[in-house]
A and B are shown apart, each in its own frame.
Chain A
Amino acid sequence: MEQKIIKILTDLRPEFDFTKNINFIEEGMLDSFDIVNLVSELDSTFGISIDGVDILPENFSSVDAIKKLLVKNGAKE
């Protein structure tokens, strides 16, 4: 799951290294428009629909946070 998440993030913003242990939001690596595109990609890749109330910046701040969000919304490991 981590590798798929990193690939989606890298396709979205190839200029950044998403394997680093940093906060993607605080570092300006993802803006709200990136999150829209990211959610669309995650939904189709994992066959889920991330709940709209979970689409908050803190849930996209790291690969771990995104993984937790996906599991909460029904994605399989």
Chain B
Amino acid sequence: MDFVFKNKRITGILTILPQKVVTFEEEMGNYSFSTAKSMKLKLAMGYKEHRIAGPGQCSSDFCIHGLQYLFDSGLLDRDSIDVLLFVSQSPDYYMPPTSNIIQGHFGLKHDMLCLDINQGCAGFEIGLIEAFMLLEQPSINRVILLNADVLSPKVSDRDRNSKPLIGDAASITIVDKSDDDSVIHANVKMDGTGAFALNIPAGGFRLPSSPQTAVIEEDSAGNFRSKDNLVMQGDNVFNFVQREVPPMIDHLLTQSDITKEDVDWYMFHQPNKFMLHKLADKIGVPYDKMPANIVENFGNASGVTVPTNISYNLGESVVTGSRKVCMAGFGVGLTWSSILMDLGYMKFNKMINF
């Protein structure tokens, strides 16, 4: 499904990272790899270090810390917020919505919309598309897109598919109406027949958590996890990404009537370095235009990897100037989505720790 938008822009991105850094060397004893194999995988996959939330820290805590920072530093006027759009797979509660909790924490105005969306690795693109659609309304001038995930507590310490790469983080993206009439092209595709390629079997209404769902079992690949833990069918996800993402990017560029070379940066979701380099090779993009350093420095925090990528790698370049950026996310759902737009002259683009 294709989308076209005008007169919208991103005016600020703040990424909020946990202070706690965990290195691969600290954890590699859990994975029953030989040291030689671990070191090779470290290079190929980007196993280096990741950021993990502290005990009791939830997704909303990172959003609240970031919003407080923006209010205190004069980068965001609390009364200007028309929508709080919270995109996550790790809400604080089943009910109420986490966006309402955040609104209530700050005592924000009642004349606004709070909305939670359950999305993962494509959560930044899905959130932006939703924000752009909301901004078509005359009553909405500013959407605050909150991407946040604290999924590390759901990943088994002995799951070598997922544990070395998981990260926790949040980002706050300010999306505004604008006089700028440059066109934003976007697309989304979904395939629910692959919904369980990434899943947490227990803990919902279908299979409530119990002592039985907490029993740790070994799978055929040597991972140890319970039904309360996140499961990723790594091979299926890898094949899905390699099959679907390159044609999606080709289609986006065709729709936008620009060439690969016209794009300054390819800011993609980062499941692991190996997968990203294979995508770059297939699409025909040099590695230095598609940074792959987020997963090795911070971990994969689902929908937060793309804004982290923008904050970490583009920094002030999109505050003092403008860049044409192709963003893409792909994962749980299965969902894959991409956006081509100009990022520039933003009020801020930075990272803080919490």
A53 and B274 in contact (CB under 8 A), knowing A32-B221, A36-B41, A36-B45? no
A10 on the B face (CB < 8 A): no
* B281 CB, nearest partner CB in chain A, Å: 4
B40 in contact with A40 (CB, 8 Å): yes
- Which residues in A have their C-beta under 8 angstroms from that of B313? none
Chain B residues whose C-beta falls within 8 Å of the C-beta of A45 in the assembled complex: none
Bound complex: CA of A34 vs CA of B41, how far in Å? 9
- Nearest-Cβ distance from residue B246 to partner chain A, whole angstroms: 8
Closest to B281 in A: A49
Which of chain B's residues 41-63 have a Cβ closer than 8 Å to chain A? 41, 43-45
Interface size class on chain B is 20 to 34
Q: What is the size, in residues, of chain A's interface with B at 8 Å between Cβ atoms? A: 16
- Is A51 at the interface (CB under 8 A from chain B)? yes
Given contacts A52-B282, A55-B278, A56-B239, contact A32 B234 (CB under 8 A): yes
The CA of A21 and the CA of B45, in the complex, are separated in Å by: 30
Distance in angstroms from A34 CB to nearest chain B CB is 8
Instruction: List which A28-49 residues lie within 8 A (CB) of chain B.
Output: 31-34, 36-37, 39-40, 49
Given known A-B contacts A52-B238, A53-B243, A36 and B274 have beta carbons under 8 A apart: yes
Given contacts A40-B40, A49-B281, A52-B278, contact A33 B238 (CB under 8 A): no
In-complex Cβ contact of B278 among A33, A49, A57 (8 A): A49
B37 interfacial contact with A, CB 8 Å: yes
- Given A33-B33, A36-B45, A36-B274: A53 touches B242 (CB 8 Å cut-off): yes
CB of A56, distance to nearest CB on chain B (Å): 7
The 5 closest A-B pairs by CB, nearest first: A52-B242, A52-B278, A49-B281, A37-B40, A40-B44
20 contacts between A and B (CB under 8 A): A12-B37, A31-B222, A32-B221, A32-B234, A33-B37, A33-B41, A37-B37, A37-B40, A40-B40, A40-B274, A51-B242, A51-B282, A52-B242, A52-B275, A52-B278, A52-B282, A53-B242, A53-B243, A55-B239, A55-B242
